[in-house]
Amino acid sequence: MDLKLIPAQPKSGLVNILVEIPAGSKNKYEFDKNMQSFTLDRALHTSVHYPYDYGFIPNTVAENGDPLDAMVIMDQPTFPGCVIASRPIGMLEIVDGKEYDQKILCIPDRDIRYTYVKSLNDINVHRLNEIAEFFRTYQNLEKKTIKILGWKNVAAVSSLIEKCIKDN
């Protein structure tokens, strides 16, 4: 899979997300650039599972040197390798170990059930808390510490995505 063929932004206001991990999975898959395939990184050590499809925005470079992480709120999981054109609505800022990291939260552009969602304000606070709790606890049994810094709304996401595209 040639990631250069997947634009970070298919059009203004949207990002492409390459799914690595489907919702409900306890397996952590990662795209291996050298092998051009998805590999099993590990099974989660805790009793939690990914709340939504999780992956990255191709052709971006985040502050940690990896592509920008993203999650898509959907009713049904997709599969590793699926590309989802999505609308960013916010981001969760965390510190993973000692490394600052952002998780972009998105809505699928082609799902009529979410056309009303424009920002984090349109998502139930409990749902946002569940997502944050997943990231806070999913590595506990590996003796890794995650610090949740909080949610930022869509305005902060737009400038971050632009920067991460330019840094690619």
51 pLDDT band (50/70/90 cuts)?
Answer: very high
34 pLDDT band (50/70/90 cuts)?
Answer: very high
Annotated ligand binding at 101? The verdict is: yes
What phi, psi does 119 have (nearest 5°)?
A: -155, 175
- pLDDT of 24: 97
Mean of all residue pLDDT scores within the chain: 95
Annotated ligand binding at 52? The verdict is: no
Is the pLDDT at 104 greater than 90? The verdict is yes
Q: What is the DSSP letter of 135?
A: H
Annotated ligand binding at 42? The verdict is: yes
113: Cβ contacts below 8 Å, ≥ 6 apart: 75
* pLDDT tens for each residue of 72-97: 999 999 999 999 999 999 999 999 98
Share of the chain above pLDDT 70, in %: 100
- pLDDT of 14: 97
* pLDDT tens for each residue of 115-139: 999 999 999 999 999 999 999 999 9
140 pLDDT band (50/70/90 cuts)?
Answer: confident
Annotated ligand binding at 29? The verdict is: no
Q: 37-43 and 27-32 as β-strands: parallel, antiparallel, unpaired? A: antiparallel
Alpha-carbon span 98 to 80, nearest angstrom: 28
CATH architecture of 3-166: Alpha-Beta Complex (3.90)
Q: 83-96 and 53-57 as β-strands: parallel, antiparallel, unpaired? A: unpaired
52 pLDDT band (50/70/90 cuts)?
Answer: very high
- Over range 19-39, report the average pLDDT: 96
20 burial type by CB count under 10 A (0-12 exposed, 13-18 middle, 19+ buried):
buried
What phi, psi does 155 have (nearest 5°)?
A: -60, -40
- Over range 132-155, report the average pLDDT: 94
- pLDDT of 97: 86
Q: Six-digit token pair at 138? A: 């999913």
Annotated ligand binding at 114? The verdict is: no
Q: What is the DSSP letter of 82?
A: -
Is the pLDDT at 168 greater than 90? The verdict is no
